[in-house]
Amino acid sequence: MVADNVRWVPDEPALIFNGRTRTWRDFARDMAAIQNGLASLGVEHGSRVAVLDRNSDDYVLLGYALAGMGAVLVPVNMWLRAQEISYILNNAQPVLVVTSEEFADLALEAIEPLFDKPRRVLRGAERSGVVTFAQMCTMIPDGPVSRARTWDDPHLVLYTSGTTSRPKGAIISHRRTILDALNALPVFGIRRSERFFCYMPLFHTGAWDYLKLYFMRRGAAVIAERFEPESAVKQIETHRCNGMFGVPLVLRQMTEAKAWATSDMSSMRLIAYANYDPSTLILKIVDAFRARGAENIGIANAYAGLRHVRPTTEDYIKLEDPKAIALAAAYKAKFGDAPGELTILSYDAVHILKAAFEKAGSIDNAAVNAALRKLKVADIPALVTRYTPQPDGRLFDDKGQVDLRGVVSVWKGNGWQPLLKASQ
């Protein structure tokens, strides 16, 4: 991809960051320099290199440099604590950790307890005994730089947040990356030489997945170090960005920014999103963009117009569920308003606890917990939410989790419509 872009559009922009523009010719030259430096520091086919830093054009170049070498980028969430980062580093076993002055002490604290300590590379600053990123880019290796061998070589390991257990590394291969792009490009309709505004942290899959789509169309990416609504509006306007990925909170903050009222969004054609949006905020956002000149803007769900998620109160009503309809009517009569997105789950939670109290015959914490573990779906006839019972009929599995049935919906008109009725 990089070689093709250098061949066909060498002097067109590839990366824009903090006022600096790298063309595709620059991209290839700087990527090769990074590869030489990495090889000089012992990186070879299969090696892992971790990054603990905010977004930058160097970060993107490093990712592509490693992929070309058959090595693996391991982006690390810089918002984690030292012990959490230490776990990831111990699990991934990187040979290098690239960081900046802002996170240098955090990186050092995370590395300290490791038996095999990776070497540090510091970007944008200097510290005694630590190789700087700039120094690395001037190094010349003693031997040839390694190259990727097959498209099943991994090039990226993304760690989960670890909210339910230890973080797990998702291994991303060249095959997955290319096939994902080939499937997504027709859906998003990205045009040649368009520009993508990338504020998503590079430890998240969304950033890398959208960058490649625009790069494959010989386009460019405007990289934001972090999201800040006023800056985002100004950067999109200044660099004439054509697309972005947005979650509801980010999009709302942009349209509420002071700069929005006088902004020119006429270059924007695409907002891609993957969040469930029961309020249909995204439609209001589209209207706001069109009011600022983006007459041809469209929205594209990252899952190609389908979703499979936990049903909301509104979903169950659309499914013509009699319990949900009765609950909504009772709620309206009591509070004078329609039930909220999570009303049914809250309603069910009360009935689950009530059943547990009755089974335990007590409000003692240990007794109620024991009753919850034994509780069966059939014991709670008032439940509105559709849970799939465990093989023995219990509501909770041995880890305290429930099997909540999702619903497949399709976007029709101005909202999501569940595909099946309650009887089905």
Hey, where are the domains in the chain? 2-188, 313-418
Helix ranges (DSSP H) in 45-123: 57-69, 82-92, 104-111
Query: Taking Cα atoms as reference points, which of 252, 240, 202 lies closest to residue 223?
Result: 202
Residue 397 has a pLDDT of 87
DSSP state of 145: P
Q: What is the CATH number of domain 2-188?
A: 3.40.50.12780
* Nearest to 133, CA basis, from 20, 26, 41: 41
Range name among 58-62, 177-181, 319-323 with the lowest pLDDT average: 319-323
Residue 52 has pLDDT above 70, yes or no: yes
The percent of the chain in helix, strand and coil, each rounded to the nearest 5, is 40, 20, 40
Contact present, 43 and 147 (Cβ < 8 Å): no
* pLDDT value of position 308: 44
Instruction: Name which residue leads in pLDDT, 424 or 225.
Output: 225
> Mean per-residue pLDDT for 388-396?
91
Q: Tokens 């005694």 label which residue? A: 128
- Tokens standing for residue 108: 């050092």
CA 167-151-31 angle, 5° bins:
80
Q: What percent of the chain has pLDDT over 90?
A: 72
Look at residue 306 in the predicted model and tell me its pLDDT: 46
Length of the chain: 424
pTM value > 0.95: no
The predicted structure's pLDDT at residue 415? 63
**Looking at residue 228, what is its pLDDT?**
97
What pLDDT does residue 236 have?
Answer: 98
DSSP state of 394: B
Per-residue pLDDT of 290-308, as tens digits, reads 999 998 888 776 554 444 4
pLDDT, mean over the chain: 90
Note whether 35 and 68 are within 8 A (CB).
yes
- The number of angstroms, rounded, from the C-alpha of 129 to the middle of its chain's C-alpha atoms is 35
pLDDT at site 164: 67
Q: Which of 185-194, 227-236, 368-377, 386-395 has the lowest mean pLDDT?
A: 185-194
Lowest mean pLDDT among 134-138, 268-272, 312-316: 312-316
Q: How far, in Å, are 29, 39, 145, 186 from residue 47 at the CA level?
A: 22, 10, 12, 34
pLDDT, position 195 = 98
pLDDT tens digit sequence for 171-203:
999 999 999 898 888 778 899 999 999 999 999
- Give the long-range contacts of residues 147-150, CB within 8 A, separation 24 or more: 147/45, 147/68, 147/69, 147/70, 148/45, 148/67, 148/68, 148/69, 148/70, 148/174, 149/45, 149/70, 150/174
Q: So what's the pLDDT on residue 60?
A: 98
Q: What is the pLDDT of residue 213?
A: 95
Among 92-96, 271-275, 317-321, the range scoring the smallest mean pLDDT is 271-275
